[in-house]
Structure 1
Amino acid sequence: MPKQKTNQGPCSIYNCNKESTIFRSLTDNAFAKALAIRTLQQYSYLQINQQIYPLPQLSLADKIKKMTTIIYNRQRKESATLILEPNSFKKMLEESDSDLIEFFDEI
């Protein structure tokens, strides 16, 4: 007899509209890692063992590309001046894209 699939959804992430048959259970270990790197700030309502759609994690290259796009748009399209003060630069990036929150702490 085949093993019955235990992770059948639905996804516990608010407004998750992924049409997939692939779900994962949020484990203790994954929860602890997400807390450590502050990923759960966006999903603070999630609990251990809830069914979630596996969220793709952005690689360092993806984050650098997002950062570059933000800088380009601000300078070329919005004619904004370059921000040279590190804390202001970090704040500008984090306000522009939530995926870049804590980016500078990673690198």
Structure 2
Amino acid sequence: MALKNYGPCSVQNCNLPRDRYRQFTSLAYNKAQKKGTYKTYPYLKIGQQLCYLHYLRIVEPDRGQKSRTPELKNYSFHQ
């Protein structure tokens, strides 16, 4: 099976040696707009290829981070 996301990365001056690429879809565009990262890369167009590292930085910048609203734990014991 041939890979459809084969690069190169569409980020200007990207020379990172990568073997994984993602497509910049309309969903990815909407996520980047909501998270404010698209303004750094306004030249990107839907359908272009991004290396996986740039995809994560642009589309999923908060991936793997804990929630900003910690759950309050009740440690009081009532008898």
Work out whether the TM-score is over 0.5. yes
How far is 1:20 from its partner?
1.0
For residues 23 and 42 of structure 2, what CA distance do their matches in structure 1 show?
16
- What residue in structure 2 maps to residue 39 of structure 1? 37
How far is 1:38 from its partner?
1.2
Query: In proportion to residue count, which structure has more helix?
Result: 1
Task: State how many pairs are aligned.
Answer: 60
Equivalent pairs: percent with the same residue? Answer: 33
How far is 1:36 from its partner?
1.2
Mapping of 1:20-31 within 5 angstroms? 20-31=18-29
**Structure 1 gaps, min length 5:** 63-105
CA RMSD of aligned residues (A): 2.1
- The counterpart of 2:46, out of the listed 45, 48, 54, is 48
Q: Greater relative contact order (Cα 8 A, min sep 6): structure 1 or 2?
A: 2
Matched, 1:11 2:3: no
